[in-house]
Amino acid sequence: MPQTTSPRTFLVSGGASGIGEATVRQLVARGDRVAIVDRDAVRLATVAEELGVQVLALEADVSSEQEVEKTTAHAVRHFGCLDGAFLNAAVPGPFQSLMQTSAADFDRVIAIDLRGVFLGLRETMRHLTGASRAGSIVVTSSLAGLTAGRGLAAYTAAKHGVIGLVRNAAVEGAAHGIRVNCIAPGLTDTPLQAPLREFHGAQADALQAQVPLGRMGDPREAAELACFLLSDAAGYLTGAVIPIDGGALADSPLRTSKN
Ligand SMILES: NC(=O)c1ccc[n+]([C@@H]2O[C@H](COP(=O)([O-])OP(=O)(O)OC[C@H]3O[C@@H](n4cnc5c(N)ncnc54)[C@H](O)[C@@H]3O)[C@@H](O)[C@H]2O)c1
């Protein structure tokens, strides 16, 4: 299918910071309209004010069924349609070993990072079913959705679960013209990195140096991938999980040389 140039309307969760914010900016730059959903009222207002009428700011918690239903319906009402969503909001949770993780912390991370994606997928798919144009949804998992992450048991469980949801949604959505894909970022330079750096302490820079490309990703790079997947240029892609990680997943921790 050729890439369309007509403006589209998307909902972006976690759109007030990092990868989500970079994606909102790229969508707006190409003429699309965006409903930004985020629980950070201050950042949300700042980004929305700067971007103007193409953007609708919706303060909400993605783990709340009522709030996700309300914000999705609000976006559809405000713009008159919805062509897809970037379900990207998440928290890393406490950086603790599995044995130190409380059930309350586990539940909180699963509620935002996994249940939040389920709710976002369900509400967006309900609105896209029967729409006149093909829909596209992109979900943010993580390298932690494909491998283990030391000190991140709940986050790792949630990010693995998100990939299962994406595959299920892709298979069920296909009959309704809805594509669903997943990006799996590696180390990316956003505010979410701060607690990770604190956890790894003096080893944080060494961790970054181990990435084959030798650096963290820029959030704009992950945003480019999300925008491509949302667009008709990715018309034959669904159910895909695409790492954007500077080669980290391809590398072996057992290698003996950097060359
Ligand atoms: N930065 C990284 O290294 C990295 C690596 C792998 C995956 N990711 C994933 O990328 C996505 C974006 O993260 P980021 O790095 O841009 O972090 P970020 O902290 O800059 O952005 C996350 C946004 O989500 C919002 N948010 C958090 N909980 C929410 C909730 N319950 N309801 C509504 N909004 C909520 C925050 O307010 C924030 O604006 C996340 O899914 C994260 O797990 C990030």
Query: Measured between alpha carbons, how far is 125 from 112 in angstroms, rounded to an integer?
Result: 19
Q: Which of 10, 86, 118, 155 is catalytic?
A: 155
Domain 9-244 sits in CATH 3.90.1150.10? no
Which residues are CB-neighbours of 85 under 8 A, at least 6 positions away?
Answer: 10, 11, 12, 13, 120, 124, 137, 138
Most ligand 1 atoms within 8 A of CB, residue of 152, 190, 207, 245 to mutate: 190
Measured in Å, residue 21 CA sits from the centre of ligand 1 at 10
90 Cβ below 6 A of ligand 1: yes
7 Cβ below 6 A of ligand 1: no
At 8-27, the pLDDT tens digits run 999 999 999 999 999 999 99
In the chain, where the domains are located: 9-244
89 Cβ below 6 A of ligand 1: yes
Of all protein residues, whose CA lies closest to atom 42 belonging to ligand 1?
90
Q: What is the pLDDT of residue 3?
A: 46
Catalytic status, residue 155:
yes
Helix, strand, coil % (nearest 5) of the chain?
50, 15, 35
Q: How confident is the model at residue 256 (pLDDT cuts 50, 70, 90)?
A: low
Measured in Å, residue 235 CA sits from the centre of ligand 1 at 26
Query: Measured between alpha carbons, how far is 113 from 21 in angstroms, rounded to an integer?
Result: 18
112 Cβ below 6 A of ligand 1: yes
Here the tokens at position 252 are: 């072996």
Q: Percent of the chain scored above 90 by pLDDT? A: 83
Q: What is the pLDDT of residue 209?
A: 87
At 170-189, the pLDDT tens digits run 999 999 999 999 999 999 99
CB 230 within 8 A of CB 86: yes
Which residues are CB-neighbours of 241 under 8 A, at least 6 positions away?
Answer: 141, 145, 146, 163, 166, 181, 182, 183, 184
Residues in the chain: 259
Spell out a b/e string for 153-163, using b for 16 or more CB atoms within 10 Å of the CB, else e. bbbbbbbbbbb
E strand or H helix at 183: strand 178-185
Ligand 1 atom closest to 222 (CA): 10
| pTM, full prediction | 0.96
